[in-house]
Structure 1
């Protein structure tokens, strides 16, 4: 019996109506219209490279030509990349593996082809323009009339949550003839991308295929060097708008926001931060606030204010936390605030309790080195080697935290059993430390204490615990982290090789 043939693209383009996009359409309407076309055009799984071939791209060509020649909506790239995130979410629960992933690739491909036909000035506008928050209520009279003409009932409070037609998620993208989703669902989806530019949406939606393309990389490099800026002045009435840098009209202090210069200033700032940190820890004062300590408070307050500004400029929490150093900086601020609070309480408290609180404050400040010392070497992320290694470590940390949940569940079960078998020989805290030592390789200690817990059940249960932890779980964890490292490294290196541009600034 011969194997079934592989699915192929049709020989002629599919007769699909290209969506008519109006300047008055909001982002939700754009995403909804584009989703219907993408769903009908992409019905089989393909790789991004196959979409770039002449035959595979045939079904997307009408949409690309229409957007290039007739569309002037500033949020069209935003909608395509937001739709990519939508299809990526559908892929996790799809009955057709690979199809929604291919639709996401199609969104990235169409967005790339649209930018490739623009001038540099237009590319800046379409790629760096931010989506403004939508109004809480909007008049959808024409949409309701159009739905009624097409035989689709308008959505009301008595409408069913699930239509009889094949719909899914926000936009009913299982088919063009499926029921249209409500405006409330659409607004809920697009609200995730408010105050974000198309470039930021690409980073949040993990659109690596789009980010590695030459037109996008040129914009990223221009932003890095300060050839494209968002601010002309640093005044209260300044408006954030992407524009080409003009040396004659721009304020000199606006160069402080250029990423390349900002990275250098940031390194010098952390170096001074570290010097003050060491001075305060080596010259502890239990009676007063020294000048170095007061200056450290100013440094912590300035850093916290700067982080608040970065969080506000990010627009969305998802974009702020997309980088590795976001959580790192928040930890530095949190430890600094706790230290300041304990110092205030300790200096205003009388008696022996004051000394204990002050010692605790300096112990908390000692934890700052865990985050501050690695943070000063953030400049190394610009190096190609470390720029690849840091994202790998980030993904490995995620996998380790997920795997740790299984370890904690097994650990709690064995801890409860051993505490009950010990019958007062060991306290729960002593038993927990013994099991932790056994988990990290001290098997001899576990076997010695096993017979003291229970002569009958202690040794066999300890043997099971040692076999599960030192052999099974540790081996599985090493294999999991090794696979995660190899997978991320392959993706990053392949993206750099195919783009031909250095991607350390977007890693």
Structure 2
């Protein structure tokens, strides 16, 4: 009897969902206690016999040639504007996208994704700087590059499962590539000026960028929100995938060691592994704690402020604040301004750094010159930081809240439009100022309010926000006819036209962000992850010890050898971060990877008497507990018998899919569709073997299944 289309569609969705779940479980249980080839830092997938400073494993890839090959293909494929929705249409997918994916995909070349994203950056650049090309055409080409990069990355993921697949995906996204890699000698000789910014020797890694960084600066949000990309981002964020990052400038450079991309096994890593301080999740927690300390010290210092002298609280805040500002400055140098500004709360941090620098300069000047007024003004400037610090804490605690994501985008539009409006409306201020010169009555002071530009600006500002109509009342004092005309025109343009445009622009910005909220959240998560992996050694020192490290280690770098500098740096980091490193090791050895499953009796006993199992205190605790208990074998057999689907479906694929009808069998724990040309029932021996295979697969899907059952 033919299968109904609804049943076939549901079974396909079920199989796809279970396959995704099984892949996720396999990723989370990759490492065991019997892993081999672990280096001294706990890295898996790297030969410990190799050199300490590992050479680039991808140095032979033809990146330069691939970049220009992709550009030629994109230019030949797209000559008309299309939207991203049109590019994803099945017809466009069959005619353009899929052939390009098949042509460009090479399982041995992990630089293809990087080259596609580099071409996307170029097409976005040409969108504004090449007038002979229509803007939307280059936008289409840029979108096609992003779409191809996502599909090729997904094919890497589908064809390389397990631990090797995760390592390959990580190399695709976080391994460093250089645009002129393996270019002809004459091209390299002409482009040497491009490397003048690389003032620090990195042993062959100068000028290299990762595909993840290129995706961030090109704002490839759909690419970054893909499941394959997020698999790597999540692994890097948790510290399961580790690598030596490539940064712009290091304040305290320690490049004695360089390790390639590898997995991390905490059970075989050192107890005091200082490299775990740059894991994004750990780094994010440490940043939040440091910021909480800054807020507490700021509140105490301002509560006990005394402009006549330095208090102990203010000295403590000033020292800690200097270390915190140094950390932010190093973050900007780490990956550059363009990546740093993609952070959700970067504009708040920059504002606070500016306020702190002004405060400290005024405070030191007032103290050294015994100027109490300047000292008082310095503390007044510092009080302005309160509206910056407290909202920033909310941004830290809720980084994926749509309100904060939209607020960051709308703040940029608001500031830009306000500056443009102030620039345009400055002509009204100038006209009113000049009109006031000839309208001063002889019996009044020439310095009347109508001649003061500050007063005129205040009246105009009140009209702008609809707070007061004093400016309109005083308009005849400028000129009997032109004064009221200018004020009324300004009121119409500023209070009506400007606010209407502002509301329209902000509403459009919010609607665009809300329409693709998932991509926006994944993009911000990727930025947070990429910025969390730090190369500069100064990030291993907590404020205010980073100021001390700056004063001691930077001069020491020019005195001792790189090997001794590395030893001194590591020793200092481990001593200053001893409690943090012990806590990280204890947590990661228990929670970084899924632990080995225990027998049913032991597991249930631990759940029953665990003080941390808060669900047992809830009247709805059984709702969660039913998914935590192991499933008996008899129940699994019954489920498999009930959910097995064996029906014939028509061959919609034509000759490419085979002749006649195909039998599609979709089982709950199969995770994939199995096809057969024969509708013959399975024999008892085959059914027994299939059930055993399903149980083994189920043990990797169901969180607490017994693998031996």
Residues 380-416 of structure 1 deviation map (CA, whole Å, 9 limit, x = unaligned): 3334xx1x22232222222222322332133211111
Q: Which has the higher contact order (CA 8 A, sep 6+)?
A: 2
Residue 339 in structure 1 maps to residue 376 in structure 2: no
SS at 1:98 equivalent? helix
Q: SS at 1:44's partner residue?
A: coil
TM-score (norm 1): 0.76
Task: State the Cα distance separating 1:296 from its structure 2 match.
Answer: 1.2
Q: Distance in 1 between matches of 2:396 and 2:283?
A: 11
Which position in structure 2 is the counterpart of 1:40? 76
Uncovered stretches (5+) of structure 2, i.e. residues with no partner: 1-57, 157-164, 199-205, 246-252, 438-445, 528-709
Offset, 1:126: 1.3
1:86 aligned onto 2:114: no
Q: Do the aligned partners of residues 287 and 311 (structure 1) sit closer, same or farther apart at CA in structure 2, a change above 3 Å counting? A: same
Aligned mates of 1:213, 1:98 — CA distance in 2: 24
> Which of 102, 105, 117 matches 1:65?
102
Q: How does 1:120-139 map to 2 (within 5 A)?
A: 120-131=166-177
1:458 aligns with 2:504: no
Alpha-carbon distance in structure 1 between the residues aligned to 2:149 and 2:501? 41
Q: Cα 1:359–1:287, aligned 2, differ >3 Å: closer, same or farther?
A: closer
Deviations 1:409-434 (A, max 9, x none): 33211111111222343212211111
Contact in 2 for aligned 1:286/1:347 (Cα 8 Å): no
Q: Classify 1:506/1:335 alpha carbon distance in 2 versus 1 (closer, same or farther; 3 Å).
A: same
C-alpha distance in structure 1 between counterparts of 2:140 and 2:492, whole Å: 43
Q: Contact conserved, 2:120 with 2:142, CA < 8 A, in 1?
A: yes
Quick one: distance in 2 between partners of 1:207 and 1:47? 15
Measured in 1, the distance between the counterparts of 2:354 and 2:135 equals 43
- How far apart are 1:198 and its partner, in Å? 0.6
Partner of 2:379: 362
Q: Secondary structure at the match of 2:396?
A: helix
Residues 240/417 of structure 1: CA separation in 2 closer, same or farther (3 Å cut):
farther
| Counterparts of 1:109 and 1:290, CA distance in 2 | 59
* Alignment of structure 1 residues 168-179 onto 2, 5 Å: none
User: What is the CA distance between 1:81 and its match in structure 2?
Assistant: 0.4
Question: Given that residues 359 and 381 in structure 2 are in contact (C-alpha distance below 8 angstroms), is that contact kept between their aligned partners in structure 1?
Answer: yes
The answer as to 2:280 corresponding to 1:259 is: yes
Instruction: Give the 3-state SS of the residue equivalent to 1:382 in structure 2.
Output: coil
Residues 212 and 277 of structure 1, relative CA distance in 2, 3 Å threshold: same
The CA distance in 2 between the partners of 1:504 and 1:322, in whole Å, is 8
With over 3 angstroms needed to count, the CA separation of the structure-2 counterparts of 1:318 and 1:195, relative to structure 1, is farther
Normalised to the residue count of structure 2, the TM-score between the two structures is 0.55
CA deviation vs aligned residue, 1:214-249 (integer Å, no higher than 9, x gap): 1001111222222222359x9763436432122122
Asked if the contact 2:221/2:522 (under 8 Å) is kept, the reply is no
**TM-superposition CA deviations, 1:139-180 (whole Å, max 9, x none):** 535x79xxxxxxxxxxxxxxxxxxxxxxxxxxxxxxxxxxxx
Higher-Rg structure is 2
Q: How does 1:306-385 map to 2 (within 5 A)?
A: 306-314=327-335, 316-350=336-370, 354-383=371-400
> Corresponding residue for 1:175?
none
**SS at structure 2 position matched to 1:322:** coil
Q: Pick from 150, 158, 161: which aligns with 1:112? A: 150
Cα distance in 2 between the residues matched to 1:305 and 1:461: 49
Given that 1:81 and 1:202 are in contact with CA atoms closer than 8 Å, whether structure 2 keeps it comes out as yes
Distance 1:113 1:411, change over 3 A: closer
Question: Conserved in 1, the CA contact under 8 Å of 2:362 and 2:375?
Answer: yes
Q: For 1:439, which of 460, 464, 474 is the aligned residue?
A: 464
Q: Which runs of 5+ in 1 are unaligned?
A: 1-21, 145-181
Q: 1:471 to 1:56 in 2, by over 3 A?
A: closer
Q: 2:505 aligns with which of 477, 480, 483?
A: 480
2:185 corresponds, among 126, 140, 155, to 140
Are 2:241 and 1:228 equivalent residues in the alignment? yes
Number of aligned residue pairs: 431
For 2:436 and 2:166, locate their aligned partners in 1 and report how far apart those are by CA, in whole Å: 74
Write out per-residue CA displacement over residues 294-332 of structure 1, whole angstroms, 9 at most, x where no aligned residue. Answer: 221221122123223322332x32112222322322322
Correspondent of 2:474 among 437, 445, 449: 449
- Between the aligned partners of 1:503 and 1:133, the Cα distance in structure 2 is 24
Query: Offset at 1:204?
Result: 0.7
